[in-house]
Amino acid sequence: MKIKILLACFLVQTFSLFSQERSNVYNERMEYFRQNPLEQNQIIFLGNSLTQGGRWQEFFPNQRVANRGISGDNTSGILARLDEIINAQPEKLFILTGVNDISQDLSNDYIIENMRQIVRNVQAGSPETIIFWQTLLPINNNFGRFNRLIDKEPQIEELNALIEKMAKEENIHFINLFPLFQNEEGLLDPKFTTNGLHINGAGYEIWVNKIRQFVE
């Protein structure tokens, strides 16, 4: 019994430390945004760590682009910070989010409604903005790095299908990144990833080549 109690305390403490670290990253990133405000009519990349990790200004040097990705962010976090995006009246908005919601055991019904609200808020506040919603990428749990995503592959694929449906209903552009990163097993191809979730330079090259026609 004592061992179980100690293990439970350890897990709670570990999760608390993880939550605190995520909160610190979020706050630091928001402070960076405050110090480096958006300009009007830019092309904005909005999302989580996958977006934050992209060197979008280098990928598209002839475009006025801005990176508004935050590692660990989810759809609720994006909704909470959407005013900055709307106030900047972006020309184009590229969004990729959802995997962190799934890691937090949120249902696809909840996630897709948040996504729909993001779209409608942007459409109401910045009606000239062209919205591009990108699918989640596959994951690869063979790396053993992200325990909260174990057995979540079916939910990711289901959410991507819901995103495609939502994009049609809300009259926005849908970009299917998922199949570009799959291997023969349907997992995130090891040649594109560093840990089974995040992508490397080769992965970003695939992503950039897919969206170049929409950005430029």
Mention every residue, 6+ apart, whose C-beta is less than 8 A from residue 155: 102, 108
Query: Does the pLDDT of residue 42 top 60, yes or no?
Result: yes
According to the model, what pLDDT value does residue 19 have?
Answer: 54
User: Among residues 135, 136, 133, which one has the least CA distance to residue 167?
Assistant: 133
Query: Does the pLDDT of residue 18 top 50, yes or no?
Result: no
Q: Which tens digit of pLDDT belongs to each residue from 139-160? A: 999 999 999 999 999 999 999 9
Q: Confidence band (pLDDT; 50, 70, 90) for 40?
A: very high
Q: Which tens digit of pLDDT belongs to each residue from 166-210? A: 999 999 999 999 999 999 999 999 999 999 999 999 999 999 999
**How many residues are listed for the chain in this entry?**
216
Backbone angles phi, psi at 18, to 5 degrees: -65, -45
According to the model, what pLDDT value does residue 9 have?
Answer: 40
Alpha helices in the chain (DSSP H): 2-35, 49-52, 56-59, 75-80, 82-87, 99-103, 108-125, 153-170, 201-215
Q: Confidence band (pLDDT; 50, 70, 90) for 14?
A: very low
Q: Which one has a higher pLDDT value, 168 or 5? A: 168
Q: Which residues pair with 94 in a beta bridge?
A: 45, 132
**Distance in angstroms (rounded) separating the CA atoms of residues 167 and 171:** 6
